[in-house]
Structure 1
Amino acid sequence: MTESPDAEISACDAAVTLAFSVLGKRWNGMILSSLGAGATTFVGLRRAVSGISDAVLSDRLAELATTGLTVRTVDAGPPVSVSYDLTDAGRRVLPVLDQLGAWARENLAPAER
């Protein structure tokens, strides 16, 4: 009896699965990458991440804060201002995103417009 070709394929590492559950979600990598330049406001992020709606940006920022990658800071003002920044864990993912971008530039065809 011969084994099927799939018999040698191992299950995906749980940590990789967890990482892609966050980083693989549309917009999250772009938000994190944009915050790599430093803290910014909601409007600043909306400008940096072209094409994202306010509702989706708000949802993604809440998710990224829940995962411990970003932090939301409210300055009582006046005027009241809110900014978003990376946590230490968020900053540690930046080199990974940079490497992923370099890999994409070298190995993937640019998206046609």
Structure 2
Amino acid sequence: MSRMQVDRTITRAFELFGKRWTGPIVSVLTAGPAYFADLHGAIPGISERMLSNRLAELGARELTVREVDEGPPVRVFYRLTEAGTALEPTLRALSQWAETYLLEGDQ
């Protein structure tokens, strides 16, 4: 038998998307730019601190951009970059897979 080994690109992808909340954040942003408070409200159970941390990480990976709306009042919003937007078909396919193969309430 040949020696099997995981693809390094898959490992890198899951290092990012295997973290809790990353997928839901990107998924919400596929609908368009969102203010921090709107993102927080769209993802039940996420703390503001965790949302802030994940958005910073996604920004560092160049998947999101943080922008300031000078207002008044001053508000911060986030949008996907080209690289982040390119994830939309993958997320849609993953959602369809989950709808078919994962029972509601599965952990």
Q: TM-score when scaled to structure 1?
A: 0.88
**Structure 2 alignment gaps of length 5 or more:** none
The whole-number CA distance in structure 2 between the counterparts of 1:96 and 1:77 is 35
- Measured against aligned partners, the alpha-carbon deviations of 1:35-64 in whole angstroms (never above 9, x if no partner) come to 011101110000111110011000000000
* 1:72 partner SS: strand
Q: Is the aligned partner of 1:21 residue 2:19?
A: no
The whole-number CA distance in structure 1 between the counterparts of 2:33 and 2:105 is 29
Q: Is the aligned partner of 1:96 residue 2:77?
A: no
Aligned to 2:39: 45
Aligned to 2:52: 58
* 1:82 partner SS: strand
**Structure 1 alignment gaps of length 5 or more:** 1-6
Q: How far off its partner does 1:65 sit?
A: 0.4
Q: How far off its partner does 1:23 sit?
A: 1.1
Q: How far off its partner does 1:110 sit?
A: 1.3
Aligned to 2:70: 76
The whole-number CA distance in structure 2 between the counterparts of 1:79 and 1:43 is 13
* 2:97 partner SS: helix
